[in-house]
Amino acid sequence: MKLSGPRVGVIVSYLYSFGQIAVQLLFVPLLLNGIGQAEYGLYQLVGSVMAYIISINGILSAGVSRFYCMYYAESDYGKMENTLAISKRLYWILSLISFAVVLVLSVVVHFIYSESFSSSQLVEMSLMLIVLGLNCIVTMNNAVYIAAITAHERFAFLKLSQLLALVVQPIIVVFLMRLWANALMVCCVIFATNAACSFSQRVFCKCVLGVKATYHGWDSQLVRGLFKFGSAIILVAIADQIFWKTDQLIIGYYYGPNPVAVYAVGSQVFSAYMAVGTAVASVFMPKVSFLYHKKKDFAGISSLFIKVGRVSFIVCGLILGAFVVVGNDFIRLWAGEGFEQSYLIAILIMAPFTIDIIQNLGLTILQVEDKYYFRGVMYFVIAIINIVTTVIFVKRVGIVGAALSTAGATVFGNGLLMNWYYEKKMNIDIKGFWHEIFKLFLPMVFATGVVKILYSTTIVATSWLSIFLAVLLYFLLQFSILWFVGFNDYEKKLITAAIKLLGLR
C-alpha cells in the first residue's frame, strides 16, 4: 500500500491520535504522582496562557496550507515556492512579537495571581512562560513545512514524527523527575522534543520532497490574501482558547491551582477525544481544494462532508460510549482520589462538542472556499459571552459550572448556527448528513445502554482488568451491531485497509 493519499492519511491520522491518547493516559498520572497536584495545576494554567499566544500562529498557518494546496493543485511551482518564502518572513516577525508578549506576561502574572499563588509558584510560572515562548517560536516557523507535507499527502511521516516526539517526552520526564521534579522541567522537555521534531520535518521537506522556499519577489496579493483569510482564522483560534482555556484561568483566579488540576483532568480526557475526532479532516484539505478549484464539484464536496462525518462519528461514538460506561472508575484509577468531578466535566464537554467534531471537515471546506469569516465572527462573539456565563456559573456551582457554560455555548454556536450556515450558505446537504448519522446513532445508544447496565450491576471496578473487560465487551457488541446494520461499503473497506496496514491480516 502506498504510504500517501487520503485513505492512508485517515488510517495514519487515527493511529497517531490513538497513540496520542495512550501517551496522555500515561503522562497525566505520571505528572500527578511525580510533581504533585499543585505543580500539575500550575503546568496546566501556564499552558492555558500560552495557548492564547500560540493562537497567533493561526493568523497564517491555515492560510499557508490553503494557498499552497491551491497552487499545488494548479501545478504552479513558482507560486508554491514564493508562498513558503514569504510566509517564512512573516512568521519570523510574528514569532518575535509573540515572544515579546510572553516576556510582558511573565511579569504581569505576578500581579494577577498574587493572592492565589505563592511567590515561588509565581517565579516558576514566569520561567515556564519564557521556555514555552521559545517553543512558540519553533512551532510558528515550522508551520510552512507542515503545510508542504500536507499538500504532498505525506501523512505517514508527518504523524509518525509527531507521535515519536510525544512518546519521547514522558520517557525523558521520568528520567529527569528524580533530579528536577517540577512543572518547569516538563516545559523544558516539551520545548526540546518539539524542536527536534520540527528539525526532522524540515529536513524531510527539503531532502525527500524537494520542497523549496525560494523568494520570487514580494507578492502583495498573496500577503493580503493570507491576512484576510487569517483574520477569520485568528478569531476562531482566540475563541478556541476562550472556550477551552479561559475556564482554567477563571477557576485558578477564584480557587487556586488544585481545582485547576481537577478541571484539567476532565479537559485532558476531552482533548484526547477531540484529537481522535478531528484527526481525519485535515487529511482531506488537498482533495477539497482539488474538487473546488479544479472541478467546481459542489455535490462532491457535500458527499465528502457526509462520508467523513460518518467515519468521525463512528470513532467518536465508540470512545464516548466507552467513557460513559467506565469513565468514573477510569478517572479514579487513572488520576487518583479527589478527581470525582472530572468525570462529569468531561461528559458535559464531550457530548455536545461531538457535533463540531463530526462536522470538522466543514471548517476545511470553509477555508478552501474562503468563507471562514462567518465562523470566525460567530465563534468569537459566543466565546466572549461564554466568559461571562462561566464566571457566573463558577461562582454559583463551582468548577462544574465552567463545563456547563461551555456545553451550552457549544450546542448553540457549533450546532445550531453552523448547521444553518452549512445548509443555507454553502449548499451542503445537512438533512442528508443527519439522516446518515442517525443510522449509526440508534445502534450506538442501544449498545452503550446495555453495557452500562451490565457494568453497573455486575462488575466491581477494582482494577484496570475489570475496566478493560468492560470496554472490550462494549467494543465487541458495538462493532458487531454496526458491522451488520451501520457500516457502509466505504467504512468496511477502510477497516479492512487498516487491518492490512497493521499486518493483522
pLDDT digits (tens, 9 = 90+) for 165-214: 888 888 898 888 888 888 888 889 989 998 999 999 999 988 888 888 88
Name the burial class of residue 385, with classes exposed (0-12), middle (13-18) and buried (19+) by CB atoms within 10 angstroms of its CB: middle
pLDDT digits (tens, 9 = 90+) for 334-356: 888 888 899 999 999 999 989 98
Q: What is the DSSP letter of 114?
A: T
Q: Confirm if 404 and 346 have CB atoms less than 8 A apart.
A: no
Quick one: pLDDT at residue 97? 84
- Residue 65: closest CA among 380, 418, 366: 366
Angle of CA points 392, 393, 395, to nearest 5°: 70
* pLDDT of 243 higher than 80: no
| Strand, coil or helix: 259 | helix
The Cα 289–Cα 72 span in angstroms is 9
Show the cell assigned to 192: 526540546
| Residue labelled with grid coordinates 499538500 | 151
Q: Confirm if 42 and 125 have CB atoms less than 8 A apart.
A: yes
Q: What is the DSSP letter of 245?
A: T
| High-pLDDT (> 70) share of the chain, % | 86
Confidence of residue 272 (pLDDT cuts 50, 70, 90): confident
Confidence of residue 2 (pLDDT cuts 50, 70, 90): very low
Choice among 315-329, 400-414, 476-490 with the minimum mean pLDDT: 476-490
| Strand, coil or helix: 433 | helix
As a dihedral over the C-alpha atoms of residue 30, residue 32, residue 34, residue 36, rounded to 10 degrees, the angle is 180
* pLDDT of 505 higher than 60: no
Quick one: pLDDT at residue 404? 93
pLDDT digits (tens, 9 = 90+) for 57-68: 555 666 777 788
User: In whole numbers, what is the pLDDT of the chain averaged over residues?
Assistant: 82
Is the dihedral angle over the CA atoms 15, 16, 19, 24 positive or is it negative? negative
pLDDT digits (tens, 9 = 90+) for 320-339: 999 999 998 899 888 888 88
Q: Distances in Å between the alpha carbon of 448 and those of 160, 288, 320, 495?
A: 32, 34, 9, 21
| Strand, coil or helix: 297 | coil
Angle between helices 77-112 and 119-151 (to 10 degrees): 170
Q: Region 29-56: what's the mean pLDDT?
A: 74
Quick one: pLDDT at residue 321? 92
- Residue 345: closest CA among 288, 399, 417, 409: 399
Quick one: pLDDT at residue 292? 67
Quick one: pLDDT at residue 411? 92
Confidence of residue 269 (pLDDT cuts 50, 70, 90): confident
pLDDT digits (tens, 9 = 90+) for 72-91: 777 888 888 888 888 888 88
pLDDT digits (tens, 9 = 90+) for 274-299: 877 666 655 565 666 667 666 666 77
Choice among 18-27, 276-285, 385-394, 475-484 with the minimum mean pLDDT: 276-285
As a dihedral over the C-alpha atoms of residue 329, residue 331, residue 333, residue 338, rounded to 10 degrees, the angle is -110
Quick one: pLDDT at residue 57? 55
Q: What is the DSSP letter of 504?
A: -
Helix, strand and coil content of the chain, in percent to the nearest 5, comes to: 85, 0, 15
Confidence of residue 163 (pLDDT cuts 50, 70, 90): confident
